[in-house]
């Protein structure tokens, strides 16, 4: 019986970044992305590949539980948004 390990994500390094009071601007080759403190925290913690469950655990420790919905569901939506914006990418190798 084969078990599949949870997929990991890691950040895409920006060309430059500008810290703001309530977030960060990330500059990529042709795009500027503005992230809130929550998005910034995910990008910073994803220097090394992490699963969504690992990200959720760290976010809960730093920001507490989300006001609506479940922690894993909210984390999944946030990670998917960051993946679609090319701020995060699926990590290669271990799955």
Task: Establish if 48 belongs to a structural domain.
Answer: yes
Q: What is the pLDDT of residue 93?
A: 63
The domain total for the chain is 1
Q: Is residue 55 part of a domain?
A: yes
Helix (H) or strand (E) holding 25: strand 23-27
Q: What is the pLDDT along the chain (95 residues), one digit of tens a residue?
A: 555 567 899 999 999 999 999 899 999 999 999 999 999 999 999 999 999 999 999 999 999 998 888 999 999 999 999 999 999 999 986 44
What's the pLDDT at 92? Answer: 80
Using an 8 Å Cβ cutoff, are 34 and 74 in contact?
Answer: no
Domain assignment of residue 3, yes or no: no
Q: Is residue 35 in some structural domain?
A: yes
CATH of the domain at 73: 3.90.930
Decide if 93 is inside a domain: no
pLDDT of 5: 67
Asked if the structure places residue 94 within a domain, the reply is no
Q: Which residue has the tokens 């042709």?
A: 30
Question: 65 is in which domain, residue-wise?
Answer: 8-88
What is residue 95's predicted lDDT score, i.e. its pLDDT?
43
Q: How far is CA 92 from the centre of its chain?
A: 16
């Amino acid at each position: 019986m084969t078990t599949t390990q949870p997929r990991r994500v890691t950040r895409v390094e920006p060309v430059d970044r500008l810290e703001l009071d309530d977030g960060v601007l990330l500059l990529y080759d042709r795009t500027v992305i503005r992230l809130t403190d929550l998005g910034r925290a995910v990008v910073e913690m994803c220097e090394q590949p992490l699963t969504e469950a690992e990200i959720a655990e760290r976010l809960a420790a730093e920001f507490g539980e989300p006001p609506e919905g479940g922690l894993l569901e909210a984390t999944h939506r946030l990670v998917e948004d960051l993946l679609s914006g090319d701020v995060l990418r699926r990590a290669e190798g271990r799955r």
